[in-house]
Chains A and B, each alone.
Chain A
Amino acid sequence: MAAAERRVVIGSRVGLHARPAALFVQAASKLPVKVMVSKQDTSPVDARSILSVLGLDIRGGQEIILTAEGDGAEEALDQLASLAARDLDAPDAG
């Protein structure tokens, strides 16, 4: 089965750091499939790993690539992509 993929622009002004990163990782951890995240020029890392996500240095407005395989991959990617597109640093984001 080919890996499903989503490309999404980060909606949080601060990027995937601090609170947005935590919310992103928490959401990824709840998904039934393992999602990998990368930037255009980086190797994919486990979206459930906050240390790895922080290490990608994903900034607001940048595009990330989400990939996953297996049953439920499409739905999982939709969920995570939707979350990443939001401003997760907004007061009501949590």
Chain B
Amino acid sequence: MTSSPRSRPGTWTPPMPAELQGVGVSPGVVVGPVARVGGEVPVPPAAPQSGASVDPTVEARAAAEALEAVAADLEATGRAAGGDAEAVLEAQALMARDPGLAEQVEQATRSGRTAARAIYEAFGIHRKLLGGAGEYMAARVAAAVDLLAGIPAAALLADGVGRPDRLGVDDRRRRGRGAAPGSRSSRGELLEADQVCLDGLGGAGRMAVQHPPLRPSARHGGASGSVLRSFGSSFVRLRVHRFGSRRSDRSVSRARSAAYSAAVRRSRPPLPGAWIGASLALPVEVWALVARPGGQRVVLPRSRLPRTAPLTA
């Protein structure tokens, strides 16, 4: 159990839940990058936490690299997913590579903004534009708005790579890892997940899946992990990679197991949960889960992203 860190002047602290409660859970296979939906992205500091002056050239390059990293990640995930999910993720990658956005980001860095803040502000412009375009538009571009909420955080994450101190990012928390019971990534197990929670990907990359009732499994270490719950954010989206379906050959299984083992080792205390620094490989299919913290069940686990349907309706 822990409490929320207090912010100090000049220090940006990622939002944390006020209280964390842990229960045992089996380390599982629901693993992947996460993106927050619906909540507010933590506002990154306009100036470096260290108090150092901003070098516009460095910041502009960092911002460009962050956006490209996000775009590449989206594309890679899309390729692994295939189908409709690939189309959606390709479109989202285009947003990260948007030339108009890039220009706005560069302008912001020239004005003395840090890379993270520049991206945040540039996306804010488009988010406001899209969000204010009326009900029809809001429905049609729901995914875009989601992305605008999520990508700055992801960009913060990318920006923090190699320079975690700037963002207060714990290097061990660059990637969240959810744990599913039973250690198999079957649809049924995902459906049984009660909560999928993420709080501040850009800041901490915290993610947890709670699974009452606990169904420990010996397959991948039993109830050796821990899970956090009761995050304070609203809706969150978790992009998870499903393993072992279309490519359920033994090599995949072996790689997966090895990755889990390594991840579990890394997630042992002092990290307060199933947080790992690894990004597991071999994604086969993208699943989307939408959970309401404090709610009763996962809402939309399926083989495409949750906003796909409104986009094509």
Contact = CB atoms under 8 A, between A and B. Distances in A.
A64 to B, nearest CB: 16
Contacts of A15: 140
Interface residues of A, number: 22
B94 interface: yes
B140 A14 contact: yes
Given A22-B94, A55-B133, A46 B140 contact: no
Interface in B71-88: 87-88
B281 interface: no
A22 B130 contact: no
A22 B94 CA distance: 7
B91 A22 contact: yes
Contact of B99 (A14, A21, A48, A55): A48
A52 to B, nearest CB: 5
Contacts of B141: 17, 54
A51 B95 contact: yes
Interface in A1-32: 14-15, 17-19, 21-22, 25-26
B91 A50 contact: yes
A18 B94 contact: no
B310 to A, nearest CB: 9
A57 B137 contact: yes
B133 A18 contact: no
